[in-house]
Chains A and B, each alone.
Chain A
């Protein structure tokens, strides 16, 4: 790995200037490296972070059976990493125009990293520096504890996809202006709703009474109200005080954090070093979370800008055809499949056009007539501004759910592909299943990264209880044993996992060895099961 030549660097500084003029905002410093294939082999398993900690699994080809890739996506393998300064990688034999194209794409990513709200927790430090410290920590621990360090890394990594990423985002907001729960809020938000006589009518009566008091006595309406309430419910103040004192349980949806806080095994004096390992795994995972949740948005944004900026760059005239070839490969919509670059780019372009004509406001959406909508044009010219706003505040799922509409689907002739068995020809047929925006949206949303939500608590007999929240999907059964085994070790005792399993209900008899004449109608029933891991053996029982 070596730094890019001064010649190329000079060109890239020119790119930065042009990008700034176009409105992109990013820090001045960037680092560009030339990498060989051999470097990539080393960097690949380390998610392109050269200083990431060593772990033996990185030396082994990780099994990715066909189809599993979708269920079990890795962190995106990028050309640029979100560090301070950002580092990007180039082949040594790239011609200048290609480097410019790639660099514009990279600038798009850097702008995204540094402005999108979902990355806000990654901005306070340089990840390469932290990773290096972690790597050294692991090396030191290995010299003391030997192979047990690797076991702990392994076990911690089994649940590193369940980190409480959104909790982190929420707390980094709340920390700004957090205030304790007031008695009034407690009365309305908790007491009235959980109390003995809860009911909508009572609730609205009380609201009404509160408002009336405020109107009648602008100075001390609230005090009067509270006084009347505390007189009526003598226990209210005591309950409120108790609630305020109550310590919040940490990491209810973050098993790693929960273990670090409450595991009796990890908090033993001789095992405290394991906490450091867990913290490294957890913070590394949190660092990568936004990247995988903004794939379409991030790639779409970068593609939008490499397209816009490259074609406007006067220094590389004459390479339009070369550019078009590469660009087509990157941003063409595949006949079948979902290319995040292509989809994201088209959405951004579509939204820019819509906003340019003022089609983002209430007036447009209240226009019912198809014809009137087509002619709707306020010529506001706010397209750029609008997409800059989206790049700042959205993630993939918001992006997809808010903006894929029928006009977009029709414009790009998108459809959902279905697969069915043709029994006469003994083939799988791929066919156009639907051209409805709702179906397309559902299909994209379905293929987004979505780790299971698992709630943790301690059950009777000091058992660690994991509760997998049912979202219409089962857990991959093959992996449960490995995960629970690790958890049992880290918890130091029995572990239970509750999850739902689909049980097929057979409608008719089948399986008679004939080539089947008809697909039997299949229904499934969800049953709640409990997996128990005790003394390194796994058992499964029906939980209902």
Chain B
């Protein structure tokens, strides 16, 4: 906390605009709250209310409802294609598409959750809605309330729930240790679906394929005289050539195949040979701002977009994609897996430069630039305490030297109203967006964005 305060004072000494000061103070306030020791003493777990109609016989009588993942096995890969085909046809018939690609978390034992990619849809009907509350509010008397039973005087608190919940579960992606393969297997499919159905572009062949140490063995070489398999067509050609040279075959007269001479070297064989497998491979850095202001919708948008990008790249590189996950607030750190990347949440300040610096250091130390195509995707809400990008821009410059693409997503948190965020401002001011158009892309979306908008954003980032 002191560190953040100190940083704030340093920045203040350099001069801050009112807007800027307000955002920083907001984040500081959040940070202080989460550090509140009182918070540890919760009064009771948050109650989990269920709706009246969610109770059903089979579940209550221990008969067990099938898990959603089992239901998924019904929708085999082929019928997923079929569904998407149908959806494409809908568009041709002039109706909007209905299939959405969803991610489902199948909670496992010991937190070993699995992520499954599933098609989802919604059946629209005229139904009543609640009177919308303003976000983050909903004081007394506005909600219809839930039923309850048991002890307690009127007005007594029976449980509580932090406003900014630790994320995880729900509809978002998240997985435990050792669950990585589960995501991998479906991600490739998702990538294929995205590429084919949502018309995401194919990666342009850059022409500088890198060799891997992988070799394939195949019957590709030809050898005369001996070998594993006789190549009959090539042999026949050879035989004819020989016989034409010997004038045993004349133009215009029928060929008497019984009389053809065959020399031992006319026999053409295929033999086994070692082939170098040329394939490009990529390393992708997913960088996410996890400061306090990102809580809620912006995080969800960024993470969803990153999952989809990862899926697309997996498909493009035939699974030859390495991923690195980096989180930052005022300091950056690398985390091990996607789950940590998805779930972690702090309430600190924001300094984009720290993350870029870490990416540059990792690339330099591991000499990644030599063997890999490098992609960096950065998701943020656009706040940066480093208002003019004095530190971030030079680091970004370094990155653009080796990266194949840097894509920056700004998911607005709505805190500052409609004004443009710092990151957006200093990026456009720097002129990098124009001068390095092939390498650097920016996508700004509001926090109300839908899945379709997220996919649209991906097109913008990777096209």
Contacts and interface: CB of A to CB of B under 8 A. Distances in A.
A431 B120 contact: no
B390 interface: no
Given A336-B147, A434-B154, A522-B134, A483 B50 contact: no
B256 interface: no
A421 interface: yes
Given A430-B46, A430-B161, A433-B145, A421 B139 contact: yes
A260 B363 CA distance: 67
Contacts of A432: 148, 152-156, 158
A447 B52 contact: yes
A23 interface: no
B26 A513 contact: yes
Given A70-B51, A334-B50, A452-B127, A443 B146 contact: yes
A41 interface: yes
A102 interface: yes
Nearest to A502: B131
B86 interface: yes
Interface stretch (A71-79, A121-129, A132-140, A360-368): A71-79
Interface stretch (B62-70, B176-184, B232-240): B62-70
B20 to A, nearest CB: 11
Interface in A155-199: 157-162
A41 B119 contact: no
B336 interface: no
A238 interface: no
B201 interface: no
Contact of B58 (A89, A337, A446): A89
B145 A416 contact: yes
B140 interface: yes
A34 to B, nearest CB: 11
A113 B55 CA distance: 19
Contact of A336 (B48, B71, B74, B104): B48
A425 B38 contact: yes
Contacts of B65: 40, 44, 77
A98 B123 CA distance: 36
Contact of B89 (A80, A147, A420, A522): A147
B21 to A, nearest CB: 10
B66 A428 contact: no
With most chain A CB atoms within 10 A of its CB, the pick from B52, B75, B143, B156 is B52
B405 to A, nearest CB: 32
A479 B127 contact: yes
A269 B157 CA distance: 65
B129 interface: yes
B350 to A, nearest CB: 14
A426 B63 contact: no
A3 to B, nearest CB: 17
Interface stretch (A6-14, A338-346, A372-380): A338-346
Contact of B51 (A44, A77, A338, A468): A338
Contact of B126 (A335, A480, A515): A480
B124 to A, nearest CB: 3
A504 B49 CA distance: 27
What are the 6 closest A-B residue pairs judged by CB atoms, nearest first? Answer: A482-B124, A336-B47, A73-B53, A333-B149, A79-B57, A479-B124
Given A70-B53, A420-B140, A449-B53, 16 more contacts: A59-B83, A61-B102, A161-B126, A295-B52, A336-B159, A337-B146, A338-B49, A341-B55, A418-B145, A419-B143, A432-B154, A446-B144, A474-B132, A511-B417, A513-B22, A514-B26
Interface of B: 22-23, 25-26, 29-30, 33-34, 36, 38-39, 42-43, 46-58, 60-66, 68, 70-75, 79, 83, 86, 89, 93-96, 99-100, 102, 104, 118-132, 134, 136-164, 170-171, 415-417
